[in-house]
Amino acid sequence: MKKSCADLLHALTHPQAMASFTPSQWDVVVRQARAAGVLGRLGALAQQHGLQQQLPEPVWHALEADLTFAQQQAIAVRYELRRLDRALAKLGIPVLILKGAAYVAMDSPASDGRFMSDIDILVAKPHLMDVESALTGGGWTSQYHDAYDQRYYREWMHELPPMQHLGRHTTLDVHHNLLPETARIKTRPDQVIASSHLLPGTQCLYVPDELDLILHSATHLLHEGEWGHGLRDLSDLYLLIAPRAEQPDFWQRLADRASQLNLQRPLYYALVELRDLFRLAVPDNVLSTPNAILARLMKALLRRGIFSFYPDCHPHLTGIAEFALFVRSHWLRMPAHLLLPHLLYKFWKQTIASDKEKA
Amino acid sequence: MRLNELSSAELHRSLAQGLGLQTGPFRFHIRTRIPGVVSGLSQLYSDFEVGNFDFYDFHVRIAPPVGLRRWFRPQVNFWMDEFSPFMPLPADHAFAQLEWGMNWCMAGHAHHYLMFHAAVLEKNGQAVILPGDPGAGKSTLTAALALSGWRLLSDEITLVDRNDGQIVPLARPVSLKNASIDIIRAFAPQAVIGEAARDTHKGTVAHLKPPGESVARMSEKAKARHIIFPRWQAGATLSTTPHAKADAFIHLAGHAFNYNLLGALGFDMTARLLEACNCQSLEYSRLEDAMDFFSELVA
Amino acid sequence: MLISFWRIPPTATLRLHRWPDEDEYVVHHGAANATHRLSAVAGMFLEYLASGKSDTSGFISLLQELGDDTPEITMANLLEALQRLDIIEPIDAP
């Protein structure tokens, strides 16, 4: 039995609507939101609009529970950033904070009620080894010891293998590009660093310009293959864009910057989803289509991927659609001859591992 | 409506579609066709409120996994929505798996409450919390107290309300392991104990039906007044000593499900609990002696 | 021994608690979200700092009054342990 996600989507953009949801509506919305990772976000929105008393008590408890979790994670991120600043300050290079950690650092609405597992930072490629040494000295260690995974991350992707702090269990992803070296789309991390500004109270931590935050979020949505979080990422993007959308030159500046960074395509797809699902008013001239047929196919795949978090929301083909998107996501990141062996290797490793557990 | 008002056929049918069950502040939507689960619910949850509610805190399912293990040495899986937190288990552990699954749902999500891994019972308006490491005899003690006129609030998860610091009951069946099962049968021959699941990761497990009055009063919160650390020791005469509160604090926090998640609030709530409670360690071997001790504690 | 000056970092948001008739303290470091059990002297030192004092010499005198025969060693151990937990940080002489 398919259930529409209309109520959930509406709540994410018009929080006051939550005050009039019936318990039956909530029975669906809470489960969808929990699966999509946006239940804490609903809690934050409900709190901001003073709706706690107007919601049925068990509903508010569920929202509050995830909100509490997200708030504690934000505290942990702020502390982690402080330790990071201490560990890397001596290198004298800008360390760019990306995505969720940036939202927390900047107190952006996109951080409200948001779960996050990793901290993402970006440094210029020449400094990668120095950064890794400084981190290791500060107590972080690489999670992946397998030589193949190490190579995958270092050579082909755009990051060091994820690092974990020994004492604190936080995971740090150190990138040197917004997209991998081997990706078909070449972008300009140096420009993002150049436009970033120092986070007050720190010595070496920088946060991206607001336009770049938006573009990176759009790129992440399309390229990272983390389909469980598609709706959450879209919600983040909505909260980043909506407050600015009325500013006179905002859309033009966004389109121009997308051109500069060669990220027009991801922006296009993200904006289409925001317009169609979140009813964001996007000026037509910003949505210049790359290629009509490709665009239609891409839209369909993306839509299914975004709703893959909850079975009742997605049409039959999602299993294939999800995989196709995952493959495309990797396709964009790695040339074909490198891609297949990697996916096979990962599959083999997972299968062997699970067989070992059963033995 | 109470579960025991449903005929056997009605119960089977309702559970196949999904039946609502109220336990403390939570409403579970339970869907299953597994006979062991149906009979377990019928026997041990007979006094519980069931029905079709508008909103459920958790939607759970016990069902066979897809594939061969449906028929050959059948297994079952527990789901909360589309998430399955445990490995599949043999079908004759199905009821135990439902119990563990319900605990998992609450422990993982109910952060309106601070949740300790402890048992809690009430008498004369005073709730007694029993934290304890495995092997301390906590579940035997809990079952015996519940069968001796104490109101059972919970045997595994003690819920503290973040708004008023009071203990919130669940009144669910008491989980008994291995030797406890026979001890409780001997202690109270009239007690209703469900079918045992053998060779689980915890050994042999069975569940004691909660007293009807505990179930009837599941919406009554209680004020915590005592924290008793029990330790069963073969041949020991009953002895009790004061237990340092700083130590009790660290123990409770270390054995809580969501102390860290609640951050400063968790610290404040635990500190307030310890302000309000008398803390003691208890060593005993004879269940009857322990019963007397607890009676005097709240007299 | 060298006199040094310390404070509780303002961002730490410490919560400190002790029960009557008991020696030990429990402390919550808000920023790090870490809970620790502290010895009597460690807790006392935090109360000392929280009252506005910052110099180790004053606390060493206190330890002497309480009957500690090796107050400098106690002080050094305390500083090392608490600093590792990020509960105190050195400052310049006021």
Considering only CB atoms, which chain A residues are within 8 Å of C31? Answer: 75, 78-79, 82
The residue among A322 and B71 whose pLDDT is bigger is B71
Determine, yes or no, domain membership for C60.
yes
Nearest CB to C26 within list B249, B260, B264: B249
pLDDT (tens digit per residue) in B103-138: 999 999 999 999 999 999 999 999 999 997 776 789
| Mean pLDDT score, B177-201 | 92
Subunit contact B244:C28, Cβ cutoff 8 A = no
Tokens representing C7 are 């404070």
pLDDT value of position A223:
61
> Is residue A209 included in any domain, yes or no?
yes
Residue A115, class by beta-carbon neighbours within 10 Å (0-12 exposed, 13-18 middle, 19+ buried)? middle
Residues in chain C whose Cβ is within 8 Å of chain B:
13, 15, 17-19, 22, 24-26, 28, 30, 33, 35, 37
Read off the pLDDT band of A269 (50, 70, 90).
confident
How many structural domains comprise chain C?
1
Q: What is the mean pLDDT of residues B213-227?
A: 98
Cβ within 8 Å, pair C33-A79: yes
Mean pLDDT of the region A156-173: 69
Mean pLDDT (whole number) for A26-45? 93
Give the C-alpha separation, C50 to C52, whole Å: 5
Chain A partners of B55 at a C-beta cutoff of 8 Å? 23-24, 26-27, 30, 56, 58-59
Judged against a pLDDT cut of 80, whether residue B145 lies above it is answered with: yes
pLDDT of B189? 96
Residue C26 to chain B, least CA–CA distance (Å): 6
Q: What is the domain range of residue C42?
A: 12-88
Spell out which residues of chain B touch residue C35, defining contact as CB-CB under 8 Å: 250, 253, 259, 267
Residue A329's pLDDT is: 44
Which of A65-79, A214-228, B254-268 is predicted least confidently?
A: A214-228
pLDDT at A68 over 70: yes
Closest chain A C-alpha to B287 CA, distance in angstroms: 39
Q: How far is B64 from B33, CA to CA, in rounded Å?
A: 9
Residue A311: pLDDT over 80? no
Residues of chain C with pLDDT under 70: 1-2
The verdict on residue A204 lying in a domain is yes
CATH classification of the domain holding A186: 3.30.460.40
The number of folded domains in chain A is 1
Q: Which residues of A touch C32 (CB under 8 A)?
A: 79
Top residue of B245, B274, B275 to mutate, by most chain C CBs within 10 Å, is B245
How many Å lie between the alpha carbon of A161 and the closest alpha carbon of chain C? 25
Range from B203-207, B240-244, B294-298 carrying the lowest mean pLDDT: B203-207
Does the pLDDT of residue B219 top 80, yes or no? yes
Exposed e or buried b for every residue in A7-35, given b needs 16+ CB within 10 A? bbbbbbbebeebeebeeebbbbbbbbbbb
Which pLDDT belongs to residue A324?
44
Residues of B in contact with C39 (CB under 8 A): none
Q: How large is the average pLDDT for residues A16-32? A: 96
Contacting partners of chain C (3+ CB pairs under 8 A): A, B
Structure confidence at residue A268 (pLDDT) = 86
Specify the pLDDT at position B81.
Answer: 86
> What pLDDT, on a 0 to 100 scale, did the predictor assign at position A318?
42
Closest residue of B to A24, CA-based? B54
Domain-located, residue C2: no
Under the banding of pLDDT at 50, 70 and 90, the label for residue A122 is very high
Does residue A334 carry a pLDDT above 50?
no
Residue in A closest to B260 by C-alpha:
A72
Using the beta-carbon criterion (under 8 Å), do A27 and B81 form an inter-chain contact? no
C39 inside domain:
yes
What does the pLDDT read at residue A322? 47
Q: Which region among A9-18, A242-251, B70-79 has the lowest average model confidence (pLDDT)?
A: B70-79
Query: Is A358 within the bounds of a domain?
Result: no
Say what the pLDDT of residue A300 is: 66
| Distance in angstroms (rounded) separating the CA atoms of residues B66 and B85 | 16
CA angle A309, A313, A316 (to 5 degrees): 95
Q: How far is B297 from chain C (nearest CA, A)?
A: 21
DSSP output for C34-85: EEEEE-HHHHHHHHHHHTT--BHHHHHHHHHHTT-S-HHHHHHHHHHHHHHT
Q: Which residues contact C52 (CB under 8 A, 6 or more apart)?
A: none
Tokens coding B107: 């422990």
* Paired tokens of B299: 């007299």
Is pLDDT at A44 greater than 70 in this prediction? yes
Flag whether pLDDT at A296 surpasses 90.
no
Residue C1 within a domain: no
Helix (H, G, I), strand (E, B) or coil at A203: coil
A26 chain-B contacts, CB cut-off 8 A: 55
pTM listed for this prediction: 0.88
Backbone angles phi, psi at B270, to 5 degrees: -70, -40
Question: CA of B126 to nearest chain C CA: how many angstroms apart?
Answer: 21
Q: SS3 sequence, chain B?
A: CEHHHCCHHHHHHHHHHCEEEEECCEEEEEEECCHHHHHHHHHHCCCCEEECCCCCCEEEEEECCCCHHHCCCCEEEEEECCECCCCCEEHHHHHHHHHHHHHHHHHHHCCCEEEEEEEEEEECCEEEEEECCCCCCHHHHHHHHHCCCCEEEECCEEEEECCCCCEECCCCCEEEECHHHHHHHHHCCCCCECCCEEEECCEEEEEECCCHHHHHCCCCCECEEEEEEEEECCCCCCEEEECCHHHHHHHHHHCECCCCCCHHHHHHHHHHHHHHCEEEEEEECCHHHHHHHHHHHCC
Q: What is the total residue count of chain A? A: 359
Q: pLDDT category, A148, cuts 50, 70, 90?
A: low
Residues of C at the A interface (Cβ-Cβ below 8 Å)? 11, 30-33
pLDDT at A3: 62
More confident residue, A231 or B270: B270
The CA distances from residue A221 to A101, A268, A273, in Å, are: 16, 12, 11
In terms of residue numbers, what domain contains A295?
6-341
Q: Which helix (H) or strand (E) holds A174?
A: strand A171-175
pLDDT of residue C14: 96
Phi, psi of B68 (to 5 degrees): -60, -30
Residue with tokens 């560990």: A87
Smallest Cβ–Cβ distance between C30 and the set B245, B264, B275 belongs to B264
With beta carbons under 8 A apart, name residues in chain B contacting A75. 263
Distance CA B178, CA B266 (A): 34
pLDDT > 90 in chain A, percent: 43
A105 within a domain of the structure (yes/no): yes
3-state secondary structure of A164: strand
ipTM of the prediction greater than 0.85, yes or no: yes
Tell which phi-psi region holds residue C21, choosing left (phi > 0), alpha (psi between -120 and 50) or beta.
left
Rounded Cα distance between A106 and B197, Å, is 53
CA distance B143 to B138: 9
pLDDT at A352: 43
Query: Cα–Cα distance between A81 and A98 in angstroms, integer?
Result: 12
Which of the four pLDDT bands, split at 50, 70 and 90, describes residue A332?
Answer: very low
